[in-house]
Amino acid sequence: MGIFIKLKWFFKENLRMYAIGLLLLFLTDLSHVVPPYIIGLFTNEVVDRKLTWIYLLVFLSILALIYLLSYLFRYGWNTHIIKGAALLERTLRKRLYDHYMEMDAPFYQKYRTGDLMSHASNDLSAIQRVASGGILMAFDSSVSILLVVASMIIFVDWRLTLIAIVPLPFLAVGVSWIMPRLRRAFTQYQEGFSKMSDHAQESFLGMKVIKTLGQSKEDIQAFNEQTDRQIRINARVARVDSMFDPLATIIMTFSYVSMIILGSEFVLHKTITIGQLVSFTAYLSQLVWPMFALGQLFNVLERGNASYDRVMDLMNEKSLIHDDPRGVSVVKAGELNIRIKSFNYPDDPKAVLKNIDIKVPKGKTLGLVGPVGSGKTTILRLLLREFDSYDGEIDFSGHDIRDYRLSSYLKKIGYVSQNNFLFSTNIAKNIAFSDPDLPQNEVEKVAKLAALHDDIMQMPKQYNTEVGENGISLSGGQQQRVAIARALIVSPAILILDDALSAVDARTEKDILNALQHQSRDQTTIISASRISSIINADEILVFQHGKIIERGTHHHLLAQNGYYAKTFHQQEMASHYEAKLTGGD
């Protein structure tokens, strides 16, 4: 019952709708108990051969009218109460989505896509079942039972009623005994199902590997075994699930047998009429569904409750992203200063950055190199304000970056990450992601800067070519270039390329870097790369190792120092240039 209280806000918001719905539901139930009574009366008239034309017409008109009203009542409560459930699902889904949009990186590390999806579909559907089925079961069954039993007592006989309804609670008990068992079996079924799905997914994605190793037979074998196991698990589900109907039949049999014996004796001794017995059989059959529903009610509520708690746990996760409206909202191009004594991630006391001192004058380009885990990406994350607590300060264009209003600040940063996510829409919309209203010539301008325009013009529908799941698949290099164009279109004050040229071939890389250099005199550019060719022309290059800057200077300067940079350059870059040339790195 707790879930009803938790959902009180929703019922309150939609009080009118629910009030009307429940009223109509009540009227529906009421309209159900009338026909058996009328049929009983009618039977007596017929059997006693007292029926007249007038009587017949009156009886049948009333009956027909009640059935018609009943149709309207049913239509009414369906469209109110089931609508309520859909409304609840819509409301919660919207809230959840908005919440997802506002959550930060740690949240997305904690929850995987599959989980977040399943909360937004399975859990919500369990909750909305409370607002439809739950309400229905709770209200409808109790009202029905009361009305039907009252009618039995008033219109027929209380002793017959008593003896006939004694077995019925066992139906509710039986159902509530079956439900948790069914659920357990069903959970196993679902687990088996997702195991099979995972297997299938991997095999389809790794088909080339499987074919190459000649493992098709073994893979099919493994899948078939899982399938057969799944059939066996399903037997567990089916064994329990198949009990519902027989259970109802058996319990109702006890009621019928007692009704026949006692009812017949009453008819024979003229305690009740044959018409009353006919009414009674009709009433008795009306009790089956409410008893069934009561048995399921607990389960629906319990599941809804658990789902609601899970969703609320998600909703209660706080995002560290904080958009302070009092912050400085105008972000101009300018000088970037990074001075950090030390920084460590919140969950790890080890310092990942030490004694960093960087100065990038307006319009200049900074290059970052160094092995994986040396601190390059961490610097960028601080610059993107993913973490605001560090010993030191970063200021841009005269303000500490923490003094800017976050939304204004991020808008002026063009960030291209290592994994370039494209949306399943056309290329133009992907490039104009930051503002769908941007004109086509803007889109083409940045596409040219990113050395992408020619590629696009060769595609079937050019800028209207759909990409992603429903469209064509772009090469890694093309994806990176779309992501670069997408960042350039915001005319950022700071452009950050985080290993964003790794899949682009050497010639194209050069074209892009040249274009970038010439497109804006005010824009600060930061390029982090493992390929030295990406940063070769930077105004200053920083070499990171273990969170410290170990070398700095221009390319020539660094080569002259003959340290890590020079060594790496000679070892790797020379070769990789030939490689790129000879083999086409794309």
Residues 452-511 that bind other proteins (CB under 8 A): 469-470, 475, 486, 490, 499, 502-503, 505-506
- Binding segment toward other proteins, per CB under 8 A, in 45-53, 161-169, 354-362, 513-521: 45-53
Nearer to other proteins, 49 or 521 (CB): 49
* 163-173 burial: b if 16+ Cβ within 10 Å, else e: bbbebbebbbe
Q: How far apart are the first and last CA of the chain?
A: 61
Nearer to other proteins, 128 or 344 (CB): 128
Nearer to other proteins, 199 or 448 (CB): 199
- What is the closest distance, in whole angstroms, from the C-beta atom of residue 129 to other proteins in the complex? 10
* DSSP code string of 204-240: HHTHHHHHHTT-HHHHHHHHHHHHHHHHHHHHHHHHH
**Interface with other proteins in residues 409-438 (CB under 8 A):** 410-411, 413, 415, 417, 419, 421, 423-424, 433-434, 436
Among the listed residues 5, 12, 54, 101, the single contact to other proteins using CB under 8 A: 101
> Helix, strand or coil for residue 584?
coil
**Interface with other proteins in residues 310-339 (CB under 8 A):** 321
Q: What is the dihedral sign for C-alpha 36, 41, 45, 48?
A: positive
**x-marked contacts with other proteins along 368-387 as a string, rule CB under 8 A:** ---xx-----------x---
Report the phi/psi class of residue 179: left, alpha or beta, with left for phi > 0 and alpha for psi in -120 to 50: alpha
Residue 100: C-alpha distances to residues 221, 419, 424, 517 (Å):
41, 20, 19, 37
Nearer to other proteins, 392 or 442 (CB): 442
- Binding segment toward other proteins, per CB under 8 A, in 154-162, 196-204, 453-461, 543-551: 196-204
> Helix, strand or coil for residue 159?
helix
**Contact between 574 and other proteins per CB under 8 A:** yes
- What is the closest distance, in whole angstroms, from the C-beta atom of residue 554 to other proteins in the complex? 11
What kind and span of H or E run contains 394? strand 391-396
Nearer to other proteins, 315 or 357 (CB): 315
Which of the 8 DSSP states describes residue 389?
Answer: -
Size of the site for other proteins (CB under 8 A): 157
- Binding segment toward other proteins, per CB under 8 A, in 278-286, 329-337, 350-358, 543-551: 278-286
Q: What is the dihedral sign for C-alpha 289, 292, 296, 301?
A: positive
| CA-based max dimension of the chain | 121
Nearer to other proteins, 98 or 357 (CB): 98
Determine the Cα–Cα distance for residues 382 and 390; give it in Å rounded to an integer.
Answer: 9
- Binding segment toward other proteins, per CB under 8 A, in 19-27, 228-236, 335-343, 513-521: 228-236
**Contact between 219 and other proteins per CB under 8 A:** yes
**Interface with other proteins in residues 247-266 (CB under 8 A):** 249-250, 252-254, 256-257, 260-261, 264-265
**Contact between 560 and other proteins per CB under 8 A:** no
Task: Specify whether the CB–CB gap between 167 and 254 falls below 8 A.
Answer: yes
